[in-house]
Amino acid sequence: MSRLEFDFEPLNKVLEGSEITEYDAYEVFSHSKHDSEKIFKVANDLRDHHKGKVVSFSKKAFFNIVNLCRDTCSYCTYKAEIGESKLSMMNIDEVKNLAKSAAKLRCVEALLVTGESPEQKYDEAFKWLRKNGFSSTGEYLVHCSELVLNEGLFPHTNAGNLNRSEMNELKKTNVSMGLMLENSSHRLLEKGMPHDGAPSKDPKARIQILKNAGELKIPMTTGILVGIGENEREIIDSLFTIKTLHKQFGNIQEVILQNFEPKQDTKMKDHQSTPQQYFKRVVALARIILPEMNIQIPPNLSPTNYDDFLDVGINDWGGISPITVDYVNPEFAWPQINTLEKKCTEQGFELKARFPVYPEFTNMINSNLKEKIERLSDDEKYVRRKFWR
């Protein structure tokens, strides 16, 4: 990659293959307030160099297993309370039926989502699990994973701070798992802040779970929330925390950058949306800090301009479903896959469907799962087109 036509040495060093320091990352981010095009160009060049012109997504069904949650986040509408119409407690038949329907539509991923350890707070959740023959949400997720895998879908579980034993069991059927770091700052747990009332969002706890995943060699998706009240140093520290984890264990397969959007019936309903220019700068910085990693933004949270992010370093759109809504962000519909592909093509990118595990991380999964993936994959370990179109 060639040097830039201006004298901003930290960025030139990155283009020459050096890793950026935290100090220089902060300087670059501060500088980008007044001249964002430089950081955008570097991010774009780094993505092209490390990822080429392929942008991926996962064709999925969202299994909203149980949305009771022991935590209370200031921005969350996913969590339900007993008696609310949005309450979901999927029984075994419902899981199996959705899996069958998703397979008919050529979905590849079964995203299994729950609230944080609901049985620890809600007697109703405890009784529901007992009625179905399970002692914990983690145990039920193991069973659901086996069900959806038998129907031809590949499970990816995102259920908060699972313990090491639960993760080890889920590893047998899940090709990957997910846990958002959200932010490495303890300040966001303080009274009146977004994670006040959500003990599982303690960064120490989340980092330990990610370390457990690393030791268990589980391909892991993580990421940060942008625009929830963090400052610039907290953003940069969060990205370097993820970088350090990946250097230590080599299992962070993807970094999601999710922009905050206010929702009614939450404490943060009057908090402003993440400013688009700020979000684009964060995305570009993430590529500069993590040049070789897979970086995703959810297109449904930037419905009018998601294709703009192709110019600031992303190489993935995350999961998109033709059958279920985004239960975490139900106000925001996923784009049609045909529309997504058209926008990618117009900007010189090839859209490819991937499995919930990225091609370069399939070496971490067990032989049974690897064999199932190989039946559907092309030479580059993406989903063969005929199996998702």
Q: Are strands 220-226 and 176-178 parallel, antiparallel or unpaired?
A: parallel
Residue that the structure tokens 């190989």 belong to: 374
Helices (H), 188-275: 203-215, 232-249
* Residue spans per domain, the chain: 59-225+252-275+294-310+320-387
Query: Quick check: 10 pLDDT over 90?
Result: no
pLDDT tens figures, 90-113? 999 999 999 999 999 999 999 999
- Residues 317 and 387: their CA atoms lie apart, in Å, by 19
Share the mean pLDDT of the chain: 94
Query: What tokens does 172 get?
Result: 């047998």
- Residues 30 and 42: their CA atoms lie apart, in Å, by 15
Neighbour tally for 48: CB within 10 Å: 14
Are residues 23 and 232 in contact, defined by beta-carbon separation less than 8 angstroms? no
Query: What tokens does 4 get?
Result: 């830039």
Report, as an integer, the average pLDDT of 284-289.
98
pLDDT tens figures, 41-74? 999 999 999 999 999 999 999 999 999 999 888 8
Neighbour tally for 197: CB within 10 Å: 15
Neighbour tally for 81: CB within 10 Å: 11
CA angle 266, 124, 262 (to 5 degrees): 10
Are residues 216 and 164 in contact, defined by beta-carbon separation less than 8 angstroms? yes
pLDDT tens figures, 102-141? 999 999 999 999 999 999 999 999 999 999 899 999 999 9
Sequence letter at residue 65: I
Percent of the chain with pLDDT over 90: 87
C-alpha distance from residue 309 to each of 43, 163, 261, 294 (Å):
10, 35, 17, 14
Are residues 88 and 341 in contact, defined by beta-carbon separation less than 8 angstroms? no
- Phi-psi region at 384: left, alpha or beta (left = phi > 0; alpha = psi -120 to 50): beta
- Residues 162 and 202: their CA atoms lie apart, in Å, by 14
Q: What is the pTM of this model?
A: 0.95
C-alpha distance from residue 113 to each of 94, 145, 300 (Å):
14, 11, 18
pLDDT for the residue numbered 196: 86
Which listed CATH number (3.30.465.10, 3.20.20.70, 1.10.10.2520, 3.40.50.1240) goes with 59-225+252-275+294-310+320-387?
A: 3.20.20.70
C-alpha distance from residue 4 to each of 12, 15, 24, 43, 307 (Å):
6, 8, 16, 12, 24
Q: Which residues pair with 225 in a beta bridge?
A: 258
Are residues 159 and 141 in contact, defined by beta-carbon separation less than 8 angstroms? yes
Distance in Å from the first CA to the final CA of the chain: 35
pLDDT tens figures, 326-382? 999 999 999 999 999 999 999 999 999 999 999 999 999 999 999 999 999 999 999
- Residues 318 and 321: their CA atoms lie apart, in Å, by 10
pLDDT tens figures, 205-247? 999 999 999 999 999 999 999 999 999 999 999 999 999 999 9
Q: How many Å separate Cα 385 from the centre of its chain?
A: 23
